[in-house]
Structure 1
Amino acid sequence: MSRVQLALSLLSIAPVALAGNVQLEGLTLPEEYYQQRDIVKGMFTSSYDAYKKYAWGHDDLSPVSMSYSDGRNGWGASLADAMPTMYIMGLDDLFHEAVDYISGVDFSQSQTEDTVSIFESTIRYVAGMLSAYQLSGEKDDILVEKAKQLADKLVLGWVDGHTVPYGYVNFTSGEPVIDTTNIAEAGTLTLEYAVLSQYTGNSTYEELAVGSAKQIMNTPPPLPGLPAQGYEPSNNTFVGGYVTWGGGSDSYLEYLIKYARLTNTDDNSWVDAWQTGVDSSIKTLLRTSTVGDWLYLADYDSNKKIRHVSSHLACFHGGNWIQGGRMIDDESIVDYGLQLADACWNTYASTATGLGPEVFAFASDDGNYTGSSAPSKAQLDFYEEHGFYITAEDYILRPEVLESQFIAYRATGDTKYLDRAASAVASMNEYLLVNGAFSGIEDVTDKQSARIDDTESFWFAEVLKYLYLIFDDPDHISLDEYVLNTEAQPFKAPPGKGHYGSGVLLDIPVDASLTVGADLPEVSANSFMPVSIKDIIGLDN
């Protein structure tokens, strides 16, 4: 059966959805699941009480030692990241308390080390503040001012004449840290900076972010529509040829379709690039396990070998394909997304704790090569029972598997996704709860696993938000009204256009250097690059 025939057959049996919309029309949550929402809200307040007691004003709670860490420059990452979740949950007192604290933070100076990540600071701090401002009725203008204060230092990562920024900025010297970056770091800024430009009236932020993503998009990739993971900003070339939907690449691919939806841009290249990447993935990376028939996306390395590996980070792809497939009216992509979400959930359902591992691998009819050592007998035995095997056993409170379950429920209305989320809630309360908060564990296959003494801010921003929203009224933060950034921070989107993209896959040239060893050609993106970033932003030296 061709893809066209498959799409037509799926359309004939698919739930009714408005053209271009993600959510199932008329979706209502069964009454019995609302109690789960209250449990999740209690998990948030309990965790946050522990944060206030042991880590107030710091970045992350250390729940086991009842202390804190400052891995995000000491500005209070958990506060900024949690504000939209607080507002969504109706925790108004906590929300206003957090706004008051963030209002007094000096984001122009790092409170810890000099080096600041552009990507992490953008998705957590800038996005958290802008989403909170928007959700709460655009009343606290100080949140936009603080987002701008931080962004005005982050944009120093763009060196004049370079379209793609370096990944880090030294906040003391005001200079970028000269090093290679990756496409996730450099290509995951468009949503946040588009919103910042909207509220400040300064288009430079969005133009810089768009220019970076466009440059990556227009650099010849190893596979059509699938850029390599590493990137060298100084000469606009990829570093190696490793292709993955996992860490280092993930959110670049995620934002292609999301930027198109947030802005309703008439530039079809965003959706076309995403669709080309998905089509290329279907043709090159999509595999089925020999046990269980689980669908997964393999990696492709610089030696042009398929690596049968995946990760918790990569498990956003199911939800992303569901959303994008609905936007372009391609139910075959939606179906693939649903199957990918099922396979990722299987990594939770197969462990003793009911929680999923950090990294795992598969075997397909073309082997089980992972680029490292062959699986042990214990791993092979596990594979024969579960259709995958674990290569890194830890769970560090990641959200991606639950993210895809949330989107799958909103798109189909199938209550199996609600039951899965309820199962995760039960597992978290049984195996992760410590001192009123929740910690990661070192081994998801061991009910007595040692703890990981860290609660990163994405626990508040992503895990608990996705779990709350899947058990909430589906019209609350509808996926047809909001676009969620990679940290699950919602941004209000205009009414949908009904259909996105040109319907024509892009003719993106394959990286010639990976085939014949030639030097990568420099490709100039059609993007804005100011003569002096400091002059355009108006930043004092």
Structure 2
Amino acid sequence: MDLREEFYDVVEEVCKIDFAGGKGGVDMGRYLGGLVAGYDLSGEWGLLERAGELGGLLMEKGKGREGTRTGAWLEFTRLGQLIGDKKYCDTVSGEVDVLEEGQERTKLRGLWPVKGTEGDEVFGLGKGAEGVYGNLLKTAALLGRGREGRLERMWKEAMGVAEDWLLFRPMLAEEDRDEIGDRRDVLLVGEARMNGDEVETAPKVQHLGCYAGGMFGLGGKLFGNEEYVRIGEQLTRGCAWAYGAFPTGLMPEVLEAVPCEGDWRDGPCKFDEDKWRKEGSRKLRKPFKSVKDPKYLLRPEAIESLFVMFRITGNKEYQELAWEMFQSVVGATETELAFSAISDVTVHGLLKKLDSMESFWLAETLKYYYLIFSPPDLISLDEWVLSPGAHPFRRDSSGFITRGFDEPPRPKKKKKKKPGVP
């Protein structure tokens, strides 16, 4: 965009911020990501100095509070690489230790539950889980091929279970088949629910889970697994299809769809009118069962996957889908001053706006819409990793800071007793 003058005006103001007065948490992690990415992109030393200050504050605020920094894996790792301080990577490594131990103990071994009690857990890739799986993969990508060690193993184990229990095919109606042509090979991410020792796949879909298409595709490219790239394409098309299936051209926060019978690997199924009449909703387009939360909050997950899959495959279909989605988003959400979340994507005619515009609209959603239509060497995925907050971090090839990710944790040394002390 060549907004250099504006950028340096912002840098000057950022250097005046007193981060010590903040409360910590997710927002502070996002600020850290912005500072680190700003330095990686510009080389402006003042941004790295402020990042070091903020990183130190977050370390202090998070002491003794499990999970406080989990959302800042990439931010801490890249900061440690840039300033040469191992404590940041070791902090992330400690959080990986906890997750690794827990991964082997859950009822659905390989995945971490998002809610519920033992024997009644719910597993998914959406709310409560999106940061974990995305961070595993993207931290591995940041560290570089051959140095990601257990991050790769943990992510692959999780996705293997996700393949078996979380993915499903919606039972597309015949008009959808005609309308979307070769785009009909779609998948969606549902939930797995435990009922004692029994596992059931529930076709409950969250917009938050739409990042999974890009995640599978990126993991497939990073680890040389073409099957995962193919799954990434199917999931990405699935969310794009869900956008177009509602009168506003927007996907709701949470929906349920009538699934195909059998294994999703068997391919698209024939529409079953009797099954639809038993399970579907007459108020919605086939094959939907219900819309649990009809809001659209300007979320970035679907366009993120379209961007990643376009960069991975070069298939212009993803640009076409992105443009269709963008036109729908602007048409439904634009106001005189900004853009607003809307209350219900299922209605025809006048839409109720919620007078709300989350920060991720500018920080993530619009960024991905901009990048998918930009030259592929702008934030090339060969050279950059985009964090879950869409901050671009340069992939480091120096080999600095790898312990803790590709080695098991070291045992603590016992302190030697002083003579005369029992």
TM-score category, normalised to shorter length: 0.7 to 0.9
Name the structure 2 match of 1:200.
83
Indicate yes or no: 2:28 matched with 1:121: yes
Task: Sort the Cα spacing of 1:411 and 1:386 in 2 relative to 1 into closer, same or farther, 3 A.
Answer: farther
331, 345, 353: which one pairs with 1:430?
331
**Structure 2 residue 151 is matched with structure 1 residue 270:** yes
1:69-108 counterparts in 2 under 5 A? 89-108=1-20
Contact 1:382-1:388 at 8 Å conserved across structures: no
Decide whether aligned partners of structure 1 residues 435 and 248 sit closer, same or farther in structure 2, where only a CA change above 3 A counts.
Answer: same
Offset of 1:240 from its aligned partner? 6.9
Q: TM-score, normalised by structure 1?
A: 0.64
In structure 2, what is the equivalent of residue 457 of structure 1? 359
Partner of 2:161: 280
Among 371, 378, 394, the alignment partner of 2:295 is 394
- How many Å separate the matches in 2 of 1:189 and 1:376? 46
Equivalent residue of 1:411, what SS? Answer: helix
Question: Deviations for 1:131-161, whole angstroms, at most 9, x for unmatched residues?
Answer: 011101x22x22223223333232245445x
2:122 corresponds to 1:242: yes
TM-score by length of 2: 0.81
| Letter of the 1:200 counterpart | I
Cα distance between partner residues in 1 of 2:21 and 2:56: 11
Match of 1:488 in 2: 390
Distance 2:24 2:118 in 1: 23
Q: Per the alignment, in what secondary structure is the counterpart of residue 491 of structure 1?
A: strand
Q: Number of paired residues?
A: 375
For the Cα contact (< 8 Å) 2:216–2:232, is it kept in 1? yes
Deviation string for 1:419-449 (max 9, x for gaps)?
A: 1111222223322111231111111223421
Look up the match of 1:337: 232
Q: Deviations over 1:331-384 (max 9, x none)?
A: 1111111111111111211122212211111222569xxxxxxx9999613565
Q: CA deviation at 1:395?
A: 0.9
Matched, 1:228 2:123: no
Contact (CA 8 Å) 1:312, 1:356: kept in 2 or not? yes
3-state SS of paired residue (1:381): coil
**CA contact 1:379–1:390 (8 Å) conserved in 2:** no
* CA shift in 2, pair 1:342/1:202, >3 Å: same
**Structure 1 residues 425 and 283, CA, compared in 2 at 3 Å: closer, same or farther?**
closer
Mapped contact 1:229–1:238 kept (Cα < 8 A): no
Name the CA distance, whole Å, in 2 between partners of 1:271 and 1:383: 41
Cα displacement string for residues 31-59 of structure 1 (whole angstroms, at most 9, x for unaligned residues): xxxxxxxxxxxxxxxxxxxxxxxxxxxxx
The verdict on how the C-alpha distance between 1:340 and 1:230 changes in structure 2, with shifts beyond 3 A counting, is same
**Residues 143 and 395, structure 2, Cα contact 8 Å, conserved in 1:** yes
Partner of 2:267: none
Distance 1:441 1:133, change over 3 A: same
Partner of 1:468: 370
Q: Which runs of 5+ in 2 are unaligned?
A: 174-184, 263-275, 400-407, 415-422
> 1:208, 1:529 within 8 Å by CA — same for their partners in 2?
no
Q: Which runs of 5+ in 1 are unaligned?
A: 1-88, 168-185, 232-236, 368-374, 498-524, 532-541
Q: More deviation in 255-264 or 382-391?
A: 382-391
Counterpart in the other structure of 2:257:
362
Q: Aligned pair in 2 of structure 1 residues 396, 108: CA closer, same or farther (>3 Å)?
A: same
Q: 1:95 to 1:527 in 2, by over 3 A?
A: farther
Q: CA deviation at 1:496?
A: 12
Q: Counterpart of 2:181?
A: none
Q: For residue 93 of structure 1, report the CA deviation from its aligned partner.
A: 2.5
What's the CA shift string for 1:392-424, capped at 9, x where partnerless? 111111000000111111122222211111122
> Letter of the aligned partner of 2:15 in structure 1?
S
Q: Match for residue 180 of structure 1? A: none
Number of the residue aligned with 1:5: none
Deviations 1:58-105 (A, max 9, x none): xxxxxxxxxxxxxxxxxxxxxxxxxxxxxxx32223222222222111
Distance 2:209 2:338 in 1: 26
Q: Counterpart of 1:195 in 2: which secondary structure?
A: helix
**1:416 and 2:317 aligned:** yes
Letter in 2 for 1:331: E
- Asked whether 1:150 is paired with 2:62, we answer no
The CA distance in 2 between the partners of 1:98 and 1:337, in whole Å, is 37
Task: Report the secondary structure of 2:24's partner residue.
Answer: strand
CA RMSD of aligned residues (A): 3.1
**SS where residue 255 of structure 2 aligns?**
strand
8 A Cα contact 2:385 2:393, kept in partner: yes
**2:121 aligned with 1:217:** no
1:440 aligned counterpart, secondary structure: coil
Question: How far apart in 2 are the matches of 1:527 and 1:382?
Answer: 58
Deviation at 1:199, TM superposition (A): 2.6
Shift of residue 200, structure 1, vs aligned partner:
2.7
The 1:528–1:249 alpha-carbon spacing in structure 2 relative to 1, beyond 3 Å, is farther
State the structure with bigger RCO (CA 8 A, min sep 6), 1 or 2: 1
Q: Secondary structure at the match of 1:391?
A: strand
| Equivalent in the alignment of 1:260 | 140
1:526 matched to 2:409? The reply is yes
CA contact (8 A) 2:295 2:343 kept: yes
- Counterpart of 2:272 in structure 1 is none
3-state SS of 1:135 partner: helix
**Compared with structure 1, are the counterparts of its residues 101 and 379 closer, same or farther at alpha carbon in structure 2 (3 Å cutoff)?**
farther
Q: Distance in 2 between matches of 1:131 and 1:274?
A: 24
Contact 2:245 2:285 in 1 (8 A): no
Alignment deviations for residues 185-231 of structure 1 (CA, whole Å, 9 cap, x no partner): x5432211011112332211221112102321222233232122369
User: In the alignment, is residue 131 of structure 1 matched against residue 37 of structure 2?
Assistant: yes
Paired residue type of 1:211: G
Counterparts of 1:302 and 1:403, CA distance in 2 = 30
Percent identity of equivalent pairs: 29
Q: What's the secondary structure of 1:134's corresponding residue? A: helix
Contact 2:24 2:61 in 1 (8 A): no
User: Cα gap change, 1:381/1:286 in structure 2, threshold over 3 Å: closer, same or farther?
Assistant: same
Is the CA contact (8 Å cut-off) linking 1:133 and 1:144 kept in structure 2?
yes
